[in-house]
Structures are given as C-alpha cells and as structure tokens.
Amino acid sequence: MMFTNQQKILRLNSAGYPVSWVSYETAARLYYTNQVSYECGSSSMLLRGGYNRLTQLKSKLKVNSIIATHDINKSDFSSFTPSLSNTTLFKRDANNCLYCGEFFNYKDLSRDHVIPLSHGGLDVWTNVVTSCKRCNNQKGGRTPEKANMMLLAIPFAPSRVEYLILRGRKILADQMEFLISHISDKSPIFKRYTKT
C-alpha cells in the first residue's frame, strides 16, 4: 500500500470509537511512546528513518491506517460539537444547493441561514444550509416560507464520526468502511457513501 505524506491515520479511543485524524508523524510518536493499544486497519505504511528518542536509533516503523490509543484526553469521550465552516457545510450537503438542488463548485456556493440572523436565527449547523448564490440572493433576508422557497433537506449537525468523514481527505477504503460502520444508516452521509 502506497501512502503519501498527507495520508492521515484514523485514531480511535480505548473503547474503539473513532475520535480524530492524526498525521503519520503523530501516529509514529504514539507508537514510540507506547500509546497504541491495538491496530485495526487492513493497510499500513512503512516509515523509514523514524527516529526513536529513547534509543537514539533510526528505525523503520509500520504505521497502521487505524490505531486505537490509550486514553489521551477526556474529550475523546465527551459530547462533541463540530465547528462550523463553509468547507464542511458544503461537504455535508454534497455541494448541492438545498433550494434548487443543483450541484455547484465551492466558489459558487454560500452559507444560507434558514431563519435569517436578522430574525434571530443562529449561526449553527441546524440553521444553515448550502445555497447557490443565486438562490441566496433570491431568498434575501426572508424565511423559506416567506420567500416561497422549499428546503430540499433538513439541516443537521454532524455527529463526531460524520464530521471525521466530512473533514477527511483521501480516506482509505478500510478507514471509510470503519467510519461508516459507526454512523446511522438513516444519515444522509451513510446513504451517500454506501450507494451502489
């Protein structure tokens, strides 16, 4: 299996639940400091010239694509509020405008507040949708009802695992399979990635 330097390793908490992406350098550090409790990916990368601070030796290290770690921080188990950005918002909605349903490139999309901020709407996942600039202009500072524009889907806040999928770049097949197994089959993201 060929890995690029950008390849991320999926880190699980001690209970085997996905919690974060880590760089392969971080993963190597976790191995060297004996914080990896087990591996469960079906792919791995060989790091050459890894440097062991304890033995002062250069070495080779096999880094698995999915690693479970002893508990590093308490947040691994706490409730999770994913931060909101246009990149992840547009990914949540698969780059589709939730008013006209068309697919757009990033630069032609905008963040629409379903209940406008001027009406007391909040800048939160459950009140924002991906909208093309044309639809956003047409809607203006109105609610969908007032603008007579129907929403094609209900905005939702991604779970921690859904967020890992949305934030992931170049997710390996075994990592994706693992992540998908941890989200609801009712999730639009589940449907998107399990479509045959």
Q: Point out which residues bind Zn ion (CB under 5 A).
A: 97, 99-100, 132, 135
131 or 175: whose CB is closer to Zn ion?
Answer: 131
Shortest distance (Å) from residue 1 CB to Zn ion: 40
Shortest distance (Å) from residue 130 CB to Zn ion: 9
Shortest distance (Å) from residue 107 CB to Zn ion: 14
19 or 97: whose CB is closer to Zn ion?
Answer: 97
Instruction: Give 173: exposed, middle or buried? Use CB within 10 Å, 0-12, 13-18, 19+.
Output: exposed
Short-list 172, 168, 171, CA closest to 1: 172
Shortest distance (Å) from residue 123 CB to Zn ion: 20
Q: Give the helix ranges, DSSP H, for the chain.
A: 24-32, 86-92, 133-139, 144-147, 160-167, 173-180, 188-194
Residues with Cβ within 8 Å of 32's Cβ and at least 6 positions away in sequence, in order, are 50, 52, 53, 54, 61
128 or 132: whose CB is closer to Zn ion?
Answer: 132
104 or 125: whose CB is closer to Zn ion?
Answer: 104
